[in-house]
Amino acid sequence: MLSLLAFLIMIGVLITIHEFGHFIFARMFGVKVEVFSIGFGPPIFRWKGKETVYQIAAIPLGGYVKMYGEDSMTEPIQGESEKESYQDPRSFAAKPRWQKMLIAFAGPLFNIILAVILVAAAYMVGVFEPKYMKEPVVVGYIQPDSPAAKAGIKPFDKIIAVDGKPVKNWKQFTVEISMKAGMTVNLEVERNGQKKLFTLQIPQDITKQPVGISPLIPPKLGNIIPDSPAEKAGLKKGDIILAVNGKPVKSWFEIVQMLSKINEPEPVSLMVKRGKKIFTVKVTPVFNKEINRYVIGISPVFDTQIKKYGFIEAFEKSIQKNIEMSALLYNFIKDIITGEKSFQEIKNNLGGPISIAKYAGGALESGLGNYLFMTGFISLQLGYLNLLPIPVLDGGLILILLIESIIRRPLPEKAKEWLAYIGFALIGTLMIFAIFNDFLRILQ
């Protein structure tokens, strides 16, 4: 119930803001707005303003602003009523193309602006940050074949300086590394009481190719998946794993490495500390088809703290975060177009209404800041996706208007009809696939 409520509030806000962008720009250019609808299908609540009908419809997966004279996407060229609407100065069809493009662009623009406001609000309300960000830079894991592995960095190394500049915690280290993308840096490391110097080549785009250094995560259990081998064996949240099959472990990644080598359902011996008690349990892993390996159903504890920011700093961080998220979205779409993303990777990252509702409910349950942050990220995605040059989306209309501006005449109505059919087919197929993907996740 919480997930449904969180989803409806989120979608309602995002759609309202998007359509309000179209509405306010249409009114600004003197276009008569006939209907302002949140949702599709039969209206369940409506009221009449001075000249606009405002309504909430039954299907809350979209909305629309119906403007007088927009039956043709650009300029009506047939029929008496269309000619009349083209001559009426309050008609959408009568407006110059640059105004039509701005009206179409306003919806996505308002979603992008909303993303900045919501993420800033999240920072002001307070967002969860890992506690390790304020802890010394003790390496917990080195990704194989990563720049860090090639540089010679090892687990349990303590990084104390980057290019001679001291770094006291993970936050400072992260900032220094991100500012030197594509460059070679010298890392001063403390290993077994001795200081060593390593040369690290930082990738140009660390969002696609990480440096390969992860913090030290203690071997303490967080969530136990219900009905998993771990739960059946009696493991509980807060248990500390001391050894796996008799081999001592000091970090979570050591546990992961040992368990990842299992290729058959054979019992695993775990030495566990619970309070002052130390005991041994045997857990038989099961095969997980989604990640293609054996698992026992455990996850680590991530200690977090709520961090609040002032008004100006919150907006500065929001703009920076939205730029980062924009780059991630751009790279994801580019990789799909160029074929760098496999079908399985696309499938794993694509979620429909059910997935969004699930994550929205989880975000709201974990705190208002997280919910605002997620809503902002979805708003940003909605803004950019609507700018894609696909017919029936705002970007498709802008593209058609640009083409007509270049050729100095309207596209044939038949061509626009076919473009609309193609757009509906693409969007419809994508929605069906996303919903089907949601159901597959539920079944799994």
Give the catalytic positions in this structure. Answer: 19
**Are 233 and 156 in contact, with CB atoms under 8 Å apart?**
no
Task: Tell me how crowded residue 51 is: count the other CB atoms within 10 A of its CB.
Answer: 11
Copy the structure tokens of residue 360: 């929205």
Spatial distance between the Cα atoms of 121 and 114, rounded to a whole number of angstroms: 10
Spatial distance between the Cα atoms of 219 and 320, rounded to a whole number of angstroms: 33
* CA–CA–CA angle 104, 109, 112 (5° rounding): 145
Q: How many helices (H) and strands (E) does the chain have?
A: 13, 18
Which DSSP string corresponds to 302-365? --EEEE---HHHHHHHHHHHHHHHHHHHHHHHHHHHHT-S-HHHHHHH---HHHHHHHHHHHHH
- CB within 8 Å of 220: residues ≥ 6 apart: 238, 239, 240, 241, 252, 300, 301
DSSP 115: H
